[in-house]
Amino acid sequence: MTDPRREPIAAQKASSVANVLQARAASSSPSLSFEFFPPKDDAGLDRLWSAFDRLLEVNPDFVSVTYGAGGSNREKSFAIVERMAPKVLTIGHLTAVGATRESTREIIQRYRSAGVNSILALRGDSPKDQPDALERGELKTALELVTLARDEFDCEVGVAAFPEVHPESPSLEHDANVLRLKQDAGATFAMTQLFFTVEAYQRLVQTNQAHGVTMPIIPGLMPIANAKNVIRMAELSGAAIPQSLLARLESTDDETEARRIGMEYSIQLGNDLLSSGAPGLHIFSLNHDAAALELSRGVGLAS
């Protein structure tokens, strides 16, 4: 049974994220998509494919696959997108850290050979064991990737956005100027880092609109199924968990109760984002289907 709010998009309209978002906007229904990452071992890979198969059943509009900064896990990312792309519109992430123009061209070519025509152009961060990787590489910013991809390839390019301000940036306004430069260079959609309040997303959208950013900004939403993991990821990304939520998550030693509190919060946030006009939700699946499905259903994007 398909959710009455969301029919799958006709194949000819599902060839790019821009087309998907346009079709969804025209039918006043938000997009639904999932992020996956290349796992370390075979057990992780089995989990990924099982999650992918289950998540496909709710007709996501697209999926994305992360790419290790500095090219780590690169072959795994390719192997994963090669298998996903024939089944669903797939975005390949791409990072600048440690990359040359030539290596970037090769990666885009490989994505295209795998049927991936949409990329998420990111700077990435220097890995802990190679702190000078960005410095040593030829490319320094995501903007350079956007320019290269758009100037030399006919591919769709999306970029990152940061509701809680990029950790190295002085302000949301500075980030908005950078996003505007990326838009001018040809980026056509943005996806956000994880964040925890609808106000943060609204501030991001308003600030960017005031700086002439017109591309859709899709919120990235992390289901809070494992409080400890999410707290750690929030710390890594510089996103602040509201004190009231943190206190509630830490008020219990019972993992089932903590999961209930976290998922209830995530579903409320998803609903608030859609009510505030977000074009869709990009759910960080963490290669697990249960929480991603619960969140999709909780916000009415899956039955």
Active site positions, annotated: 35
39 binds ligand FAD (CB under 6 A): no
- Shortest Å, Cβ 56 to ligand FAD: 21
Q: Output the CA torsion sign for 198, 200, 206, 211.
A: negative
When asked if residue 143 is in the footprint of ligand FAD (CB under 6 A), the reply is yes
Binding status of residue 57 toward ligand FAD by CB under 6 A: no
Give me the residues paired with residue 221 across strands: 283
Residue closer to ligand FAD (CB basis): 181 or 241: 181
Residues 154 to 213: which contact ligand FAD by CB under 6 A? 160, 166, 168-169, 174-175, 178, 181, 191-193
Show the binding pattern over residues 74-113: x = contacts ligand FAD (CB under 6 A), - = does not: -------------------x-x------------------
Interface residue with ligand FAD among 124, 216, 223, 270 (CB under 6 A) is 124
Percentages of the chain per state (helix, strand, coil), in multiples of 5: 50, 15, 40
The structure tokens 């001018």 sit at 184
Binding mask 4-23 for ligand FAD (x = CB under 6 A): --------------------
Minimal distance in Å, beta carbon 60 to ligand FAD? 16
- For ligand FAD, the closer of residues 90 and 258 by Cβ is 90
Task: Name the residue among 116, 65, 117 with its Cα closest to residue 95.
Answer: 65
Q: Applying CB under 6 A, which of residues 24, 123, 259, 288 lies at the interface with ligand FAD?
A: 123
Of 173, 184, 185, 239, give the one whose Cα is nearest residue 209.
173
CB atoms within 10 A of CB 166: 18
| Residue indicated by tokens 């090219």 | 71
Comparison of 181 and 200: residue with beta carbon closer to ligand FAD: 181
Report how far Cα 302 is from the mean position of its chain's Cα atoms.
Answer: 19
Residue 142 sits in the site that holds ligand FAD (CB under 6 A): yes
| CB burial readout 11-38, b (16+ within 10 A) else e | eeebebbebbbebbeeeebbbbbbbbbb
Q: Is 266 a residue that touches ligand FAD (CB under 6 A)?
A: no
67 vs 265 by CB, closer to ligand FAD: 67
Residues 6+ apart with CB under 8 A from 270: 221, 281, 295, 298, 299
CA 116 distance to own-chain centroid:
16
Interacting residue ranges for ligand FAD, rule: CB under 6 A: 66-67, 69, 93, 95, 120, 122-125, 141-143, 160, 166, 168-169, 174-175, 178, 181, 191-193, 220
